[in-house]
Structure 1
């Protein structure tokens, strides 16, 4: 018997979400969605008992619910990709498990995408309830994305987004280990809309995004979806070489027509500057080569250990 395709799938990466994911599922299950909905929980190797909570929710679910278990932690964007591969809806919404995105905004976001003629709709917030350092990091990430990605200017790349099944299917063809979902989306479509929604304070605990995770995400965006860092290295090398030639000419002129230049401090500063620039360029090049090596050797994007389905047939 063929399974009926729901109108909407909601993909939720779960990491340290044992205290909140139950309340989220309860609120989502109470929504009335055109075409029906299903929930896909992707357990991403969390150190708490989130997996047991997710399995319990699968047993008691009043809507179709799928629990996808990763064998270890792979990161939010990798978990979202696994969720896409198990989602059956005509449209898919991604949201966090921390209740900062109000579940009642889901229907508005779904309608904005399917009725507005968009392939993707990103949400944005009038007042973000993240910590100040997270807000600063988000602004920096947006500034970099404006310059590295083919992104509409001013578009806020929120993790609370809705996209069509076509976009989701297309981007899941990417099997590389370094995933940046928004970069993949922008390679597929420019039919993108926005919707302002409310943003709530975190219900439990602290953000799972550490500075290290944010840096890794920024590197995935900068190095996997743009060659601009390589062009920057080339430009820096050309400028440095030009300054070096100019400095050499000045030294020769001063030696021929004035007092010979003196002082090893300036020479040492120049050598250290040049050496630092060379190491920076080698580091950028090495990062590209290293990522290519890991991709060619098929480092897994995410290993799914088990899939459990619950709720009404």
Structure 2
């Protein structure tokens, strides 16, 4: 019997017990506070911090480099050539992380650094491939919370996600999971979808969620829509199936209306309804355009993937002495 299996990438020996990957965008004010707190953590086996500058328009790169030079904790700064988006930046950070476990967190201080060790220990002690965090109360704007609930509802049906699992950007994964995620080289990564393709050995842990220390969220409506489209289209053909089902429903309604008009004509009544005819035409045209747009999105993403649009491009990497030696703090 011939069996076709995907070979797992070769596992290098981890240099640290824990890597902490932080995408940085407009984080010049918050990153120093975050790094200072993370550097003080006590992690048996040692930990490293990987800061990924996603071509931030402020002076985040200079701040990160200065932190790299004067910090005793192992610290790596990955500088991307242009802005690729949060999930692409996370993929770049995973590619440079060398820990047995990797925690991904934002740079806005809404996730307390004190929760990092507890999250890592929970994943390690329960032998989970991935642990997602969830919050008793989220400190986001109402429209962000509503969007998160809708995205999670869609993920329940598109990503083979365990029911009730909240997809948080504050998560811990094993090096095994990260290696297999990095096998994906497409230009539109959605980290949570890639995780669901790799493993179902997933846990959840409740943590604190704090108000933003300052500034505003870097996620605009446009960025959130782009992220949603990556989740909606990259891991399922269900949108196309929904379109097919919608076509059948509209065809059934059209047949029903045709029968009504036929009955009216047989009984000598002049069929009424210029407004209803125009409404039907506009509705059908709208459905057709939506389906054309969906097909176009699939084809466009396939075209860009085939033409090797880069997932990320690293301009340069800077490591301090502790990171370069790949040794944990004694």
- Pick the TM interval, shorter chain: over 0.9
Find the partner of 1:32 among 18, 36, 42: 42
Using the TM superposition, give the Cα deviation of residue 242 of structure 1 relative to its aligned residue in structure 2, in angstroms: 1.3
Using the TM superposition, give the Cα deviation of residue 263 of structure 1 relative to its aligned residue in structure 2, in angstroms: 3.3
**CA distance in 2: counterparts of 1:126 and 1:23, whole angstroms:** 24
**CA distance in 1: counterparts of 2:290 and 2:51, whole angstroms:** 41
RMSD: 1.3
Using the TM superposition, give the Cα deviation of residue 155 of structure 1 relative to its aligned residue in structure 2, in angstroms: 0.4
The 1:305/1:126 distance shift into structure 2, 3 A limit, reads same
In the alignment, what sits opposite 2:262?
252
Q: Secondary structure at the match of 2:272?
A: coil
Find the partner of 1:58 among 60, 64, 68: 68
Q: Secondary structure at the match of 1:7?
A: strand
CA contact (8 A) 1:120 1:191 kept: yes
Q: How does 1:101-250 map to 2 (within 5 A)?
A: 101-250=111-260
Using the TM superposition, give the Cα deviation of residue 31 of structure 1 relative to its aligned residue in structure 2, in angstroms: 0.6
**CA distance in 2: counterparts of 1:232 and 1:3, whole angstroms:** 45
CA contact (8 A) 1:43 1:70 kept: yes
**CA distance in 2: counterparts of 1:130 and 1:66, whole angstroms:** 29
Find the partner of 1:87 among 97, 106, 121: 97
CA contact (8 A) 1:61 1:311 kept: no
CA contact (8 A) 1:123 1:195 kept: yes
Using the TM superposition, give the Cα deviation of residue 7 of structure 1 relative to its aligned residue in structure 2, in angstroms: 0.3
Structure 2: 5+ residue stretches without partners: 1-11, 326-330
Using the TM superposition, give the Cα deviation of residue 4 of structure 1 relative to its aligned residue in structure 2, in angstroms: 6.6
2:48 pairs with 1:48:
no
**CA distance in 1: counterparts of 2:44 and 2:228, whole angstroms:** 36
Deviations along 1:219-260, one digit per CA (max 9) or x if unpaired, are: 000000111110010001111111112211221122112312
Deviations along 1:33-60, one digit per CA (max 9) or x if unpaired, are: 0211000000001100000001101101
CA contact (8 A) 2:14 2:100 kept: no
**CA distance in 2: counterparts of 1:262 and 1:159, whole angstroms:** 55
CA contact (8 A) 1:12 1:94 kept: yes
Deviates more, 1:271-280 or 1:91-100: 271-280
In the alignment, what sits opposite 2:328?
none
**CA distance in 2: counterparts of 1:4 and 1:121, whole angstroms:** 19
Runs of 4+ in 1 over 4 A off after TM superposition: none
Find the partner of 1:296 among 299, 303, 306: 306
The alignment of Structure 1 onto Structure 2 pairs a total of residues equal to 312
Q: What TM-score do you get using the length of structure 1 for normalisation?
A: 0.97
**CA distance in 1: counterparts of 2:182 and 2:158, whole angstroms:** 22
Deviates more, 1:161-170 or 1:138-147: 138-147
Q: How does 1:14-33 map to 2 (within 5 A)?
A: 14-33=24-43
Using the TM superposition, give the Cα deviation of residue 3 of structure 1 relative to its aligned residue in structure 2, in angstroms: 8.7
**CA distance in 2: counterparts of 1:281 and 1:59, whole angstroms:** 53
Using the TM superposition, give the Cα deviation of residue 311 of structure 1 relative to its aligned residue in structure 2, in angstroms: 4.2
**CA distance in 1: counterparts of 2:19 and 2:297, whole angstroms:** 36
**CA distance in 2: counterparts of 1:267 and 1:31, whole angstroms:** 68
Find the partner of 1:12 among 22, 41, 60: 22
Deviates more, 1:8-17 or 1:282-291: 282-291
